[in-house]
Structure 1
Amino acid sequence: MGRHRGTAQAEVLDVQAAYAAHGPELYRFALRQLGDGGAAQDVVQEVFLRAWRAERSYDPQLASLRTWLFAIARNVVVDEARRFAVRPWQRDLTDGTDLPPAGEAGPDERLVDAWVVEEALRRIGPEHRTAIVQTHLRGRPHAEVAAELGIPVGTLRSRVFYGLKALRLAMEEMGVEP
């Protein structure tokens, strides 16, 4: 029993250390997104609750703890914004009136999205990553990219298609709703 208690205590200390390291930054992110201190506190609490519950799914080889927590926070903020959208009367109950319009991403959310996509791109193969970055992120024409890579356009399109599938899977593995 003493051994189990030590293990449980170590897990709590890890969560406490994660909270000490990332809690204030997560709170600021949620506050900027939602404009409500109470809702931001709820988001941070939910982030660490979900992280604690999904602790076994966290793999430091795949993403940093910070990226993983922000991916969870992004999902929780989206859930909270949806809750406000479904129950608009709750906006009147908050301490702020500058809540972002439903579905509109603020600069902080776009930054977190960029971190998540960058982390997910690291998880897919280099050929798929190059195809997606060149065509989707840089907006280059398929024919131009294919010529530069020395491959047929059809091969590039196939790499983009399967790369996007791999990217979605990588994001799901990170706990992000694509």
Structure 2
Amino acid sequence: MTLDARARDADLVAALARGERAAAFDQLVQRYTPRLYRLSWLLLRDSARAEDAVQDSLLRAWRALDGYDATRGALSTWLYTITRHHCLAQLGRPALDTLSLDEPDGEALAATLAQPAAGPTDARATLQALIDTLPETPRACLQLFYWEDRSVAEVAAQLGLPDNTVKTHLHRARARLRQALADQGLDDPALWL
């Protein structure tokens, strides 16, 4: 069960309210650096750029910490938003790309997913390779929802998408992965237990 984002950071918000800015920020850095790195890597797909983005985002958060308003949203959502905006600015584009199977590129993606994976023979490595072939937004939704154990609402807030759009991306990504695994003979549940 996912813990509510506001409850998860209640101690940090309380420390900020008491004027313990430096101590609260230190705890925030310890708690969120790995998560911010994963978000940055999902968006930038480069470890060095992701590390730089985390540092820049934390610096921006430190500078804006006095302006954080707990009534407007969870501390983690505020921090993820800063990081997301910074990463998108690094990419030089205003929004994440989306791809539909109805578009010509969508059919090419489906054909690519249906082909056997070129390298990995391990089922989990094959799954990761298939996930890596997904378009950016569905891949980010899957990884945040399953690997980060985020709720649909939290994923939506982090990626700046409506909840129903996140649900659609998750549904379509799971269907693509399920089909690609079946095409490779890896749909036997015993392989994953």
- The TM-score, its normalising length taken from structure 2, stands at 0.41
**Who wins on radius of gyration, i.e. which is larger?**
1
Instruction: Give 1 or 2: higher helix fraction.
Output: 1
